[in-house]
Amino acid sequence: MKVANQRKALMLGLSAVLLWATVATAFKIALQFLTPRQLVLIAALTSVVIFAGFISWQRQWPNTFQLARTRTRFYVLLGLLNPFAYYWVLFIAYSQLPAQQAQAINYTWAITMSLLAVPILKQKLSKRELLAMLVAYAGVFLIATGGNWDFSQTNWLGVSIALASTLLWASYWLINIRNTDPPVPALFWCFLWGSLWLLAAELLWPSPWQLDWRGLSAGIYVGIFEMGLTFLLWLLAMRQAEKTSQISMLIFLSPFLSLVLIYAILGEAIQTTTLIGLSLICCGLYLQRK
């Protein structure tokens, strides 16, 4: 039974990783027709529908409404952080940078979380964690500069925005470390309030919309396979797994598979420095996990 559970968990985890590998390409396609905020709004609303469907299937609405009665303020603020702020900043980074740069830098959020844990959780950094940070951020520097010492050619604004997105994502997870609420109802309220924040921003600062089916379909795709369904697959994989370490290691496949799609679909020439820098980031993440 344990072998069967582990095999099923591996299949679920691999499905999630394969889907996550497609989203960097989807981001860039969607941003040809939508502003970053519009893309977040469409994707977040799509995710709300997916989470609502899963809650109905699991018959978790009593738990979901209980959260609304006891934790409204918490999820109003959490929705402001994610999806409102995090994905808006992330998509701005994607609009500024090549997909290969933005997605690689975004993978350093776990390193950023270790840094934030020092002042927030009063944790100390080990020598291994410091080494992991040095290795990972050396990879970021290599990707950002392309190995070119003429720093005037580097889009430092885009790189800074991408790094800022890792701060927001790491903050979101640090806040959730001690959150014991059921995960799917919690995500439902988080994304529902985030969507309301996005709608309020759209009403206050309206932006012209291109009513193009390609932008709309790409936005829905992002909502399904970045924020909604894929998270549920990953959650199920972690719950089914007898050895979660095997599942968590699958995540290292995603950025490299993503580069293949970025090259094949977007036509970006993958730089050697991107491959080396991404390898350094993954080495840093591996050191941190160990």
Please give the single-letter amino acid code of residue 14: L
The pLDDT value recorded for residue 2 is 55
CA distance 283 to 245: 16
Q: At 149, is the secondary structure helix, strand, or coil?
A: coil
Q: Is residue 6 part of a domain?
A: no
Q: Is residue 144 part of a domain?
A: yes
CA distance 276 to 254: 16
Q: Is residue 268 part of a domain?
A: no
Q: Is residue 269 part of a domain?
A: no
Domain of residue 130 covers 24-229+274-281
Q: Is residue 79 part of a domain?
A: yes
Q: Is the pTM of this model over 0.85?
A: yes
Cβ–Cβ < 8 Å for 25, 99: yes
146: left (phi over 0), alpha (psi -120 to 50) or beta: left
DSSP 156: H
Structural domain count, the chain: 1
Q: Is residue 167 part of a domain?
A: yes
Any idea how long the chain is?
Answer: 290
The pLDDT value recorded for residue 245 is 64
Q: At 268, is the secondary structure helix, strand, or coil?
A: coil
Cβ–Cβ < 8 Å for 75, 67: yes
User: From first to last of its 290 residues, what are the pLDDT tens digits of the chain?
Assistant: 455 667 787 888 888 888 988 999 999 999 999 999 999 999 999 999 999 999 999 899 998 999 888 999 999 999 999 999 999 999 999 999 999 999 989 888 878 888 887 777 777 778 888 888 888 889 888 888 877 766 677 788 999 999 999 999 888 888 887 788 888 899 999 999 999 999 999 999 988 888 788 889 999 999 999 888 888 888 777 777 666 666 667 777 888 899 999 999 999 998 888 899 989 988 888 887 76
Please give the single-letter amino acid code of residue 251: I
Give the pair of three-digit tokens for residue 265. Answer: 């679909």
CA distance 147 to 22: 26
Q: Is residue 134 part of a domain?
A: yes
CA distance 12 to 97: 31
CA distance 250 to 17: 7
The pLDDT value recorded for residue 244 is 65
Q: Is residue 3 part of a domain?
A: no
Helices (H) and strands (E) in the chain, counts: 16, 0
Give the pair of three-digit tokens for residue 125. Answer: 């950094």
